[in-house]
């Protein structure tokens, strides 16, 4: 029976303590699997066809699901049981990873097959992430969303980056199929955890049966349009989406050529590059774990400003300094600020978006993130070509310092109350 309670092992107050713990566990092991195959796939490509075009094709195959599937996935997540969506996604990812493991071990793998499997894994991940984001507000009360999101994001970074990336490289040396076998095992474990998770249907202002009847009479295209119209009509969420796109463009532009930056300016090898990226991920993980505590001490507006200005100062220091230690410390601050922005804005969105719109509106944010990534990579490369390797970091610092101007409507609409919803009423009729 669901009840309002405080989890015994953390400070997240939930309406379904067991459900929240299971969601965290399933998300953590799923991200471990994602990190394993995302790291191992380029290594696999290097053995199949060590050609720049082949790597570009892999990047396209991994990005396309977010561009093509994100909006339909969001609408379907609002139609279906979100727990079931995550469970089916985990099962399919387990199967796909197992196929990759067998094919990589046997040898003779062809590029079209690798691309197709990478695309399919990405589609499943799109559904799973949309469903998890939409499900969380059903397990956690509004005032606990920042802490809960911090735990989830922190767990994702720890397993998906800090653990998965070095682990994938080590086990790939043992056998090309081993990272994908471990990947399949993580999704099998997530599947078992999700099977025991109860609930997950979207509940808005109408009864569940009424929502289901409305959904069956509607079309997917119409529901996607409804989500887009809701976002366009909300000035705060609309501004947060715009600023999020700018941040993603800046960060992608900086990191697109960072490997070359480490070689030519910092004079480190591949190991040094990996350690520097690990520092950025560590900063993000720390931000996730500290999100709840920071939210209890600061209101949303100062946190949002700090999450922009701290990475701005850090980016400026990276662009001006050629010191490895300074760069590592500043990358940790970049990761800390980026994750803080993600946790705070995600909690705000979850608190005001109607439950039966969570999937389709959140999917627009994910689409913007996916769409701005290649733009940032191209702009970053152009800046390097014309002005040098330090330029993306210096330009990025200036943009992040000015970003609060673009975020004006969002910051003005950010609630000032104690909870994430504060003095702003939820748009959910049932709230």
Q: Are residues 226 and 174 in the same domain?
A: no
Encoding tokens for residue 362?
């959140």
Q: Where are the beta strands (DSSP E) in 63-131?
A: none
Q: Is 106 exposed, middle or buried (0-12, 13-18, 19+ CB in 10 A)?
A: exposed
43 lies in some domain: yes
Q: Are residues 131 and 242 in the same domain?
A: no
Distance of CA 323 to the CA centre of its chain: 30
Phi-psi region at 199: left, alpha or beta (left = phi > 0; alpha = psi -120 to 50): left
Q: Are residues 185 and 290 in the same domain?
A: no
Q: Are residues 354 and 292 in the same domain?
A: yes
Distance of CA 404 to the CA centre of its chain: 22
429 lies in some domain: no
18 lies in some domain: yes
The answer to whether the CB of 307 falls within 8 A of the CB of 247 is no
User: Could you give the number of structural domains in the chain?
Assistant: 2
3-class SS of residue 107: coil
8-state DSSP, 196: T
State how far the alpha carbon of 168 is from the alpha carbons of 33, 51, 224, 378, in Å. 10, 21, 37, 28
Q: Are residues 192 and 299 in the same domain?
A: no
For position 292, what pLDDT does the model report? Answer: 62
Helix runs in 175-299, H state only: 178-195, 208-217, 220-233, 235-256, 258-264, 270-297
Q: Is 170 exposed, middle or buried (0-12, 13-18, 19+ CB in 10 A)?
A: exposed
The C-alpha angle with vertex 84 and arms to 83 and 86, in degrees rounded to 5, equals: 65
Q: Are residues 100 and 32 in the same domain?
A: yes
Domain CATH number, residue 42: 1.20.1250.20
9 lies in some domain: no
Encoding tokens for residue 288?
């996730």
Q: Are residues 122 and 236 in the same domain?
A: no
209 lies in some domain: no
For position 371, what pLDDT does the model report? Answer: 78
Report the b/e string of 383-408 with b at 16+ CB within 10 A. Answer: bbeeeebbbbbbbbbebbbebbeebe
Cα torsion 376, 377, 379, 380 to 10°: value is 110
Nearest to 27 by CA among 164, 156, 198, 162: 156
pLDDT in tens, the chain (431 residues): 333 334 334 455 555 567 888 999 999 999 998 888 888 888 888 777 766 677 777 778 888 888 889 899 999 998 889 999 999 999 999 999 999 999 988 877 788 888 899 999 999 999 999 999 889 888 888 878 888 888 888 888 899 888 988 888 888 888 889 999 999 999 999 999 999 887 556 544 343 444 444 544 468 888 888 888 988 888 878 888 888 888 888 998 898 888 888 888 998 866 677 788 889 999 988 888 776 666 666 566 778 888 888 999 999 999 998 899 999 999 999 999 988 888 888 888 888 888 888 888 888 888 887 778 888 888 888 898 889 889 999 999 999 888 777 666 656 655 544 433 333 443 333 33
6 lies in some domain: no
55 lies in some domain: yes
- Which of 196, 230, 249 lies at the terminal end of a domain, its last residue? 196
Q: Are residues 61 and 170 in the same domain?
A: yes
Cα 296 to Cα 77: distance, rounded to the nearest angstrom: 31
The answer to whether the CB of 315 falls within 8 A of the CB of 173 is no
Encoding tokens for residue 7?
């989890």
Encoding tokens for residue 25?
């566990």
CB-based contacts of 87: which residues, under 8 Å, 6+ apart?
191, 194, 195, 197
For position 387, what pLDDT does the model report? Answer: 92
Q: Is 381 exposed, middle or buried (0-12, 13-18, 19+ CB in 10 A)?
A: middle
State how far the alpha carbon of 185 is from the alpha carbons of 251, 320, 376, in Å. 32, 44, 34
Helix runs in 257-387, H state only: 258-264, 270-297, 300-320, 324-352, 358-387
Cα 125 to Cα 130: distance, rounded to the nearest angstrom: 8
Measured in residues, the chain has a length of 431
CB-based contacts of 20: which residues, under 8 Å, 6+ apart?
7, 12, 14, 136, 139, 140, 148
Report the predicted TM-score, pTM, of the whole model to 2 decimal places. Answer: 0.77
Q: Are residues 404 and 365 in the same domain?
A: yes
Domain of 304, in residue numbers: 220-415
Q: Supply φ then ψ for residue 13, to 5 degrees.
A: -80, 130
Encoding tokens for residue 59?
């990047």
141 lies in some domain: yes
Q: Are residues 269 and 226 in the same domain?
A: yes
Q: Are residues 71 and 126 in the same domain?
A: yes
State how far the alpha carbon of 108 is from the alpha carbons of 51, 97, 366, in Å. 17, 17, 35
Q: Supply φ then ψ for residue 294, to 5 degrees.
A: -65, -40
Q: Are residues 257 and 389 in the same domain?
A: yes
- Which of 142, 162, 196 lies at the terminal end of a domain, its last residue? 196
């Amino acid at each position: 029976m669901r009840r309002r309670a405080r989890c015994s092992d953390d400070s997240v107050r939930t309406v379904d303590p067991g459900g929240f713990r299971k969601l965290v566990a399933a998300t953590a092991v799923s991200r471990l699997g994602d990190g394993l195959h995302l790291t191992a796939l380029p290594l696999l490509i290097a053995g199949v066809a060590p050609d720049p075009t082949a790597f570009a094709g892999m990047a396209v195959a991994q990005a396309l699901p977010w561009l093509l599937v994100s909006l339909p996935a969001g609408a379907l997540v609002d139609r279906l049981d979100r727990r079931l969506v995550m469970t089916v996604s985990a099962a399919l990812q387990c199967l796909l990873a197992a196929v990759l493991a067998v094919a990589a071990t046997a040898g003779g793998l062809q590029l079209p097959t690798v691309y197709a499997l990478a695309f399919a894994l990405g589609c499943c991940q799109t559904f799973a992430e949309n469903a998890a984001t939409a499900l969380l507000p059903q397990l956690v009360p509004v005032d606990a969303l920042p802490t809960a999101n911090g735990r989830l994001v922190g767990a994702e970074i720890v397993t998906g980056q800090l653990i998965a990336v070095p682990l994938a490289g080590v086990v790939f040396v043992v056998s090309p199929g081993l990272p994908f076998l471990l990947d399949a095992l993580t999704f099998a474990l997530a599947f078992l955890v999700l099977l025991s998770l109860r609930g997950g249907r979207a509940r808005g202002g109408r009864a569940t049966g009424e929502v289901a009847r409305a959904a069956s009479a509607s079309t997917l295209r119409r529901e996607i349009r409804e989500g887009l119209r809701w976002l366009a009509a909300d000035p705060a969420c609309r501004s947060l989406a715009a600023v999020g796109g700018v941040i993603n463009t800046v960060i992608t532009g900086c990191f697109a050529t960072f490997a070359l930056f480490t070689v030519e300016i910092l004079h480190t090898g591949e190991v040094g590059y990996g350690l520097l990226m690990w520092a950025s991920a560590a900063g993000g993980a720390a931000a996730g774990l500290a999100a709840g505590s920071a939210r209890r001490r600061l209101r949303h507006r100062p946190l949002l400003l700090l999450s922009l200005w701290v990475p701005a100062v850090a980016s400026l220091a990276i662009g001006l300094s050629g010191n490895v230690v300074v760069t590592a410390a500043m990358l940790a601050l970049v990761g800390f600020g980026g994750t803080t922005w993600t946790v705070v804005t995600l909690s705000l969105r979850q608190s005001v978006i109607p439950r039966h719109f969570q999937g389709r509106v959140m999917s627009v944010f994910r689409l913007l993130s996916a769409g701005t990534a290649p733009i940032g990579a191209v702009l970053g490369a152009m800046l390097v070509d014309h002005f040098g390797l330090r330029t993306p970091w210096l330009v990025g610092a200036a943009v992040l310092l000015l970003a609060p101007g673009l975020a004006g409507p969002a910051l003005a609409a950010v609630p000032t109350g104690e909870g994430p919803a504060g003095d702003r009423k939820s748009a959910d009729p049932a709230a």
